[in-house]
């Protein structure tokens, strides 16, 4: 999660109260953030330069490093943290942000040329009028932009922020895309004029900026913003112009965010303007800018409208496990900067929640419920639930019990460990080849969730099986003494149009060993409680025809007439054997990957120690099969006629 460095004294001044370190740690914990470290600016510099520790100077400013949730963009600077804590402590009302009421004719205009659609098609803008900076707020303003660039902006690939001294520029502005040889300006912190292509070469040695060059470097055109006099404002997402640089004397700030993701751009713009509008003459008021596209469509930014949602009171109290009244819930939500009031729809009470532009993390009723729990205090939930006799089962709140899925998976983990397996973890993201071709499957386009613009070929899709991850783990441990016995319990992701998010997350268990598959199946089914009786009313095996398995050596596991899994020796192109099982009773998918080499069947230990090979097996495979069988104590071989 992001860590925000703030001066302790400046933070306490903004909070209007001084705390001991222990008191502030407690306040952070209650609000849902964490005081990660206490240091000084000189100590940070010494650490970065790998210098020896020195005795601290009493006059050094103490720096608090505060860890905040990754989706709370409003907490990425001192101003945001201080405001949130003031509201949380009932020391401030929730701010009401508004767009300045000016006519469309008076608005600053940003004209967007059609060529920008090929590189960074969107731009949103706003103005902070009458702002007053001091050294602390100026540094915080710059630091917030850096934090946003690293977080929601995804290192400037999705959004790039440009801030400018409006008094040095002349409206209207134009957002264009031109060949790099046609763009000339003096970049920030430089005195020499550069062509854009020269600038790219110049910044290849810059430790900070060189990592952003790839975003536009190979494009035939670069995005650029001009004012009326053809003065360059910025070359997004690389650098701003020195001409319009912000200083401590700046009074009017023009903010532009160019983007490939319009939604993210709006969130970034709203975060910057709402956070620093407190330094304006008219607090919480932002001047709008009209953005006009080449097709004639125009939009006004920022969009500071609130998002309204209704949340069931019973959903909130049931999920938390505490019998709260509607008035209590609304008060708790107000502490978290969410406007809330009670309403009644029919027979069920609901809470009307207005989400301000600063809380872009609130998307679903579960987010509202979480804020109620935070404001109420996680440490208070169990005690009050038990004390009031609410949802009590064996002396504890039912809502505080582990989820059924987690309890079940924990029991499966224990059983696998007792069977001699070691747990491993593999990545949820994998390549399309690993997810389909490697397992002898075809991508039907309706099973796997595909990642847009993956960072590498290893992150193309979310896995639909644990098998490829297990096999890769085994491949990296080929030198390990045999047998290799490992397992994994984890999520897979499957497309599902019936879900509100378009996908579902079954839970799978995969294992790898060099033993007979059927015994492991029976053991797990036994501990689950599905022992096969003579009348076949629980589970039984029948022949199957799955593409990943070798024909004639596979079976389906059927429970009460429904196929819940398969087992068998997989096709030679896949190499290992796979067993999969779906446990409907708990909505958990469990998949075992058992690496029994194809074409090879081990004879049980109570029979003569030999192995049999399928008739027609390629002679090229015999040395490998013989070696594998020898490792497991088998001698000699016979041919097996299926």
CATH number of the domain encompassing residue 426 = 3.30.930.10
Nearest to 17 by CA among 74, 89, 95: 89
Do 412 and 381 lie in a common domain?
no
Rounded to the nearest 10 degrees, how much is the dihedral formed by the CA atoms of 327, 330, 332, 338?
A: -170
Indicate whether 375 pLDDT > 90: yes
Residue 329 shares a structural domain with residue 450: no
Question: Cα(87)–Cα(95) distance, rounded to whole angstroms?
Answer: 9
- Domain end position, chosen among 68, 88, 108: 88
Decide if 477 is inside a domain: no
Give the C-alpha separation, 4 to 18, whole Å.
Answer: 19
Lowest mean pLDDT among 168-177, 467-476, 506-515: 506-515
438: in domain: yes
Same domain, 216 and 146: yes
Confidence band, pLDDT 50/70/90 cuts, at residue 639: very low
Total domain count for the chain?
5
Burial of 633: CB neighbours in 10 Å, binned 0-12, 13-18, 19+: exposed
What would the pLDDT profile of 179-211 be if each residue is shown by its tens digit?
999 999 999 999 999 999 999 999 999 989 999
Write out the E strands in 294-412.
298-301, 307-312, 339-345, 348-355, 392-393, 396-397
Task: Specify if 565 maps to a domain.
Answer: yes
Q: State pTM to two decimals.
A: 0.73
**Parent domain of 370:** 307-399
604 shares a domain with 592: no
pLDDT value at residue 397: 44
Mean pLDDT of the chain: 82
pLDDT for res 540: 80
* pLDDT of the residue at 342: 84
Query: Mean pLDDT throughout 427-435?
Result: 91
Say whether pLDDT at 576 is over 60: no
Cα gap 632→629, rounded to integer Å: 5
Residue count of the chain: 642
Q: Is the peptide bond before 302 cis (omega within 30 degrees of 0)?
A: yes
What angle is formed at CA 266 by the lines to CA 262 and CA 272, rounded to 5 degrees?
Answer: 140
pLDDT at residue 430 is higher than 70: yes
Neighbours of 280 (CB within 10 A): 21
**Residue 2 and residue 36 in contact, taking contact as beta carbons nearer than 8 Å:** no
Residue 383 sits in the same domain as residue 329: yes
Q: What is the pLDDT of residue 346?
A: 52
Residues 522 and 589 in one domain: yes
Question: Tens digit of pLDDT for each residue in 118-134?
Answer: 999 999 999 999 999 99
What single-letter DSSP state applies at residue 118?
G
Residue 237, preceding peptide bond in cis (omega within 30° of 0): yes
Cα separation, 483 vs 576, whole angstroms: 14
Q: Assess whether 556 and 614 both reside in one domain.
A: no
Does the pLDDT of residue 599 top 50, yes or no? no
- State what percent of residues in the chain have pLDDT above 90: 53
Q: How far is Cα 383 from Cα 377, in angstroms, rounded to an integer?
A: 11
**Percent share of the chain, pLDDT over 70:** 79
Residue at a domain's end among 48, 68, 88: 88
State the Cα–Cα distance between residues 173 and 113, nearest whole angstrom.
11
With 0-12 / 13-18 / 19 or more C-beta atoms within 10 angstroms meaning exposed / middle / buried, residue 433 is: middle
Whether residues 419 and 536 share a domain: the answer is: yes
Q: Which residue has the higher pLDDT, 576 or 118?
A: 118
Give me the phi and psi of 350, to 5 degrees please.
-130, 160
Domain stops at, among 88, 123, 154: 88
**Between 310 and 390, residue with greater pLDDT:** 310
pLDDT at 624: 46
Q: How far apart are CA 284 and CA 278, in angstroms?
A: 6
CATH number of the domain where residue 277 is located: 3.50.40.10
Range among 330-339, 504-513, 514-523 with highest mean pLDDT value: 330-339
Most confident of 171-180, 427-436, 469-478: 171-180
Task: Assess contact for 258 and 236: CB atoms under 8 A.
Answer: yes
Which backbone phi and psi does 279 adopt, to 5 degrees?
-95, 0
Q: How far apart are CA 164 and CA 419, in angstroms?
A: 65
Asked, for residue 582, whether it belongs to a domain, the answer is yes
Closest CA to 246 of 97, 128, 147: 128
Q: What is the CATH number of the domain that holds 335?
A: 3.30.56.10
Q: Tell me: do 177 and 265 sit in the same domain.
A: yes
Question: CA-to-CA distance for 625 and 597, rounded, in angstroms?
Answer: 8
Is 478 contained in some domain?
Answer: no
At 472, the pLDDT band (50, 70, 90 cuts) reads confident
Based on the domain organization, do 624 and 591 belong to the same domain?
Answer: no
Under the banding of pLDDT at 50, 70 and 90, the label for residue 605 is very low
Indicate if 620 and 552 belong to the same structural domain.
no
The answer to the question of residue 21 being in a domain is yes
Q: Which residue bears the tokens 């001699």?
A: 420
| 617 lies in some domain | yes
- For residue 527, pLDDT over 90 is answered with no
d(CA 254, CA 264): 19
pLDDT at residue number 532: 62
Query: Following DSSP, what letter does each residue of 74-93 receive, concatenated?
Result: GGSSHHHHHHHHHHHTTSSP
User: Residue 320 above 60 pLDDT?
Assistant: yes
Q: Is the pLDDT of residue 148 over 90?
A: yes
625: pLDDT strictly greater than 70 = no
Residue 53: per-residue pLDDT? 59
Is there a domain that residue 125 lies in? Answer: yes
Give 239's strand partners: 235
Whether residue 502 sits in one domain with residue 442: yes
């Amino acid at each position: 999660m992001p860590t925000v460095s703030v001066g302790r004294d400046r933070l306490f001044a903004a909070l209007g109260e001084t705390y001991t370190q222990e008191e502030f740690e407690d306040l952070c914990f209650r609000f849902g953030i964490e005081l990660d470290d206490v240091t000084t600016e000189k100590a940070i510099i010494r650490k970065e330069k790998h210098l020896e520790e020195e005795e601290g100077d009493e006059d050094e400013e103490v720096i608090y490093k505060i860890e905040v949730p990754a989706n709370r963009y409003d907490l990425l600077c001192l101003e945001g943290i201080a405001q949130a804590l003031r509201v949380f402590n009932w020391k401030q009302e929730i701010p009401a942000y508004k767009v300045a009421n000016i006519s469309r004719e008076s608005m600053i205009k940003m004209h967007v040329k059609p060529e920008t659609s090929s590189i960074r098609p969107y731009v949103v803008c706003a103005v902070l009028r009458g702002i007053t900076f001091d050294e602390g707020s100026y540094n915080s303003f710059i630091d917030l932009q850096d934090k946003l660039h690293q977080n929601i902006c995804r290192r400037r690939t999705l959004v790039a922020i440009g801030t400018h001294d409006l008094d040095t520029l002349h409206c209207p502005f134009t957002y264009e895309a031109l060949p790099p040889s046609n763009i000339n300006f003096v970049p920030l912190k430089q005195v020499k004029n550069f062509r854009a292509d020269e600038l790219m070469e110049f910044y290849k040695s810059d430790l900070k900026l060189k990592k952003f060059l790839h975003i536009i470097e190979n494009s035939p055109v670069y995005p650029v913003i001009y004012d009326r006099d053809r003065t360059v404002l910025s070359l997004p997402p690389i650098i701003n112009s020195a001409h319009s640089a912000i200083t401590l004397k700046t009074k009017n700030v023009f903010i532009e965010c160019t983007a490939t993701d319009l939604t993210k751009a709006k969130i970034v713009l709203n975060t910057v303007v709402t956070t620093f509008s407190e330094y304006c003459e008219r607090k919480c008021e932002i001047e709008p800018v009209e953005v006009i596209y080449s097709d004639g469509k125009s939009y006004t930014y920022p969009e500071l409208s609130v998002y309204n949602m209704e949340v069931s009171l019973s959903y909130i109290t049931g999920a938390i496990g505490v019998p709260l009244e509607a008035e209590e819930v609304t008060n708790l939500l107000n502490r978290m900067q969410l406007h809330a009031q009670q309403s009644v729809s029919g027979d069920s009470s609901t809470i009307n929640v207005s989400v301000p532009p600063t809380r872009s993390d609130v998307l679903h009723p579960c987010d509202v419920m979480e804020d109620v729990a935070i404001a109420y205090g996680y440490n208070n939930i169990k005690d009050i639930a038990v004390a009031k006799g609410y949802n009590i089962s064996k002396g504890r709140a039912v809502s505080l019990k582990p989820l059924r899925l987690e309890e079940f998976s924990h029991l499966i983990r224990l059983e696998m460990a007792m069977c001699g397996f070691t747990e491993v973890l593999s990545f949820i993201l994998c390549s399309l080849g690993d997810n389909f071709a490697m397992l002898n499957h075809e991508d039907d386009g309706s099973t796997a969730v595909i990642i847009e613009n993956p960072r590498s070929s290893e992150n193309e899709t979310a896995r639909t099986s644990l098998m490829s991850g297990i096999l890769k783990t085994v491949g990296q441990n080929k030198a390990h003494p045999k047998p290799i016995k490992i397992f994994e319990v984890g999520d897979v992701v499957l497309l599902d149009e019936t879900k509100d998010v378009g996908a579902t997350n079954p839970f799978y268990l995969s294992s790898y060993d060099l033993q007979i598959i059927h015994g492991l199946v029976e053991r797990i089914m036994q501990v689950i409680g599905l022992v096969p009786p003579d009348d076949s009313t629980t589970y039984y095996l029948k022949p199957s025809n799955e593409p990943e398995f070798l024909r004639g050596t596979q079976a389906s596991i059927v429970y009460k007439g429904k196929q819940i899994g398969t087992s068998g020796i997989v096709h030679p192109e896949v190499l290992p054997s796979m067993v999969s099982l779906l446990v409907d009773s708990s909505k958990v998918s469990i998949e075992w990957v058992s690496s029994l080499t194809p074409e090879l069947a081990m004879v049980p230990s109570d029979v003569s120690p030999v192995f049999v090979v399928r008739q027609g097996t390629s002679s090229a495979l015999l040395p490998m099969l013989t070696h594998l069988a020898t490792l497991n104590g088998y001698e000699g071989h016979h041919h097996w006629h299926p």
